[in-house]
Amino acid sequence: MEKSRLADRFRACDKAFILVVTRKNKRCGVHGLPFRIGSLIFATPSMKVYRNPDQFPPFKNAVITIGTFDGVHEGHRKIISHMQEAARSIDGETVIITFHPHPRKVVSSAILGIRLINTLDEKIELLEQAGIDHLVIVPFTQAFANQSAEDYIANFLVKNFHPHTIIIGYDHRFGRDRLGDYRLLEKMADSYNYSLREIPKHVLAEIDISSTNIREAIVHDDIETANQLLGYEFFFEGLVVDGDKLGRKLGYPTANLRITDEEKITPGNGIYAVSVSLQAEKLFEPSYRGMMSIGLRPTVNGKSRVIEVNLFDFDKDIYGQTLRVYVKKYLRPELRFETLEDLVVQIGKDKEQTLQIFSSPS
């Protein structure tokens, strides 16, 4: 079936998405989640998202866990898999409870240090792809943080979710002054008729280490490590804004991107192989290949950090549109060249290397 006809069918369908892949003997999927290439796949996005307790349905044998799930990386997916297994055994539903804004912004003064792997919308998207039934986004306020640990259990967890099973880490803290813990949940389990399962210490340690390592890898050019730990290619979105159009003069027109979420982490300075999707096209997979430059542009004595993407074989006007950039591989550091001609020669080498990366087996 022609790509255009498939796109039309996709846009006409509000309950299914279609993933079409054509290369053979490879695996890919939405953000790198595994699907078999060479097939046509229909899936039903079924995760329900709630931001207000008044919206909550009567959950069926709810298996719940609580956390930030920043990155929704391989470590998080172990917990999700454990939840799903538990839910299947009791014909129940999986429920993840997360918070927005990040609790540290409310209870800590060190808010400037927050750099998140995912925006909230990205997290929602990734958790849906992971197959979670319900996602509850709790508005995290000072009043919420100040409720007693006992009230948190009785008036928040039990009243709203009537959980069959709570899966939580041994070091989870909640309530005023963070006095609530696993032992309190265990103590109150019989009174409120829920089962309690502990996330093993080594899994929690792996999650914390992975999240830290992912952030460090992203900002220090080690994008391959970040992608391996994430289980998908790190991505971010930016609005295409006016630049000085130097790239066009050099024969490599670029889209200058402005990151709109101040908490979103971005890669360190350097040159990267990337693939890109346009938000306006509403496709799940990246449609275009290219290379990205992040930095001060020392060859032209730049003064501010700029994110620029050059898309191969692309000539559309996309000013004012949002691009999603999937970062595939780090190519080289940002360099200062003596002349613009030298810069153009290096850009040509960067493009050749990028094309080789995309053409080589994964």
Q: What is the pLDDT of residues 4-51, one digit of tens each?
A: 333 333 333 333 443 433 333 333 444 444 333 333 334 445 899 999
| Catalytic residue (one of 237, 308, 338, 341) | 308
CATH 3.30.300.30: does it fit domain 48-210?
Answer: no
Rounded to an integer, the average pLDDT of 221-225 is 95
Percent of the chain with pLDDT over 70: 85
Q: What is the pLDDT of residue 104?
A: 78
CA-CA distance, 235 to 239, in Å (whole number)?
A: 14
pTM of the model: 0.84
Q: What is the pLDDT of residue 24?
A: 35
Q: Residue 362: pLDDT band by 50, 70, 90 thresholds?
A: low
pLDDT in tens, 189-205: 999 999 999 998 888 88
Higher pLDDT, 45 or 240: 240
Higher pLDDT, 84 or 35: 84
pLDDT in tens, 247-261: 888 999 999 999 989
Rounded to an integer, the average pLDDT of 232-239 is 96
Rounded to an integer, the average pLDDT of 295-302 is 90
Q: Would you kindly state where each structural domain of the chain is located, as residue ranges? A: 1-45, 48-210, 233-362
Rounded to an integer, the average pLDDT of 292-313 is 93
User: Which two tokens mark 221?
Assistant: 């050019």
Kindly tell me if the per-residue pLDDT of 151 is higher than 80. Answer: yes
Residues contacting residue 264 through CB under 8 Å, at least 6 positions apart: 115, 116, 118, 119, 236
Q: What is the pLDDT of residue 1?
A: 40
Kindly tell me if the per-residue pLDDT of 269 is higher than 50. Answer: yes
Rounded to an integer, the average pLDDT of 80-90 is 96
Kindly tell me if the per-residue pLDDT of 216 is higher than 90. Answer: yes
Q: Residue 111: pLDDT band by 50, 70, 90 thresholds?
A: low
User: Which two tokens mark 23?
Assistant: 């290369």
At position 265, the amino acid (one-letter code) is: I
Instruction: Please name the CATH architecture into which domain 233-362 falls.
Output: Beta Barrel (2.40)
CA dihedral of 230, 328, 6, 125, whole degrees rounded to 10: 30
Cα atoms in the 13 Å half-sphere on the side-chain side of 169: 18
At position 187, the amino acid (one-letter code) is: K
Q: What is the pLDDT of residue 112?
A: 54
Q: Is 308 annotated in the active site?
A: yes
Q: What is the pLDDT of residue 10?
A: 37
Percent of the chain with pLDDT over 90: 67
Q: What is the pLDDT of residue 335?
A: 94
SS3 track for the chain: CCHHHHHHHHHHCCCCEEEECCCCCCEECHHHCCEECCCEEEECCCCEEECCHHHCCCCCCEEEEECCCCCCCHHHHHHHHHHHHHHHHCCCEEEEEEEECCHHHHHCCCHHHCCECCCHHHHHHHHHHCCCCEEEEEECCHHHHHCCHHHHHHHHHHHHHCCCEEEEECCCCECHHHCECHHHHHHHHHHHCCEEEEECHHHHHHHHHHHHHHHHHHHCCCHHHHHHHHCCCCEEEEEEECCCCHHHHHCCCCEEEECCCCCECCCCCEEEEEEEEEHHHCCCCCCEEEEEEEECCHHHCCCCCEEEEEECCCCCCCCCCEEEEEEEEEEECCCCCCCHHHHHHHHHHHHHHHHHHHHCCC
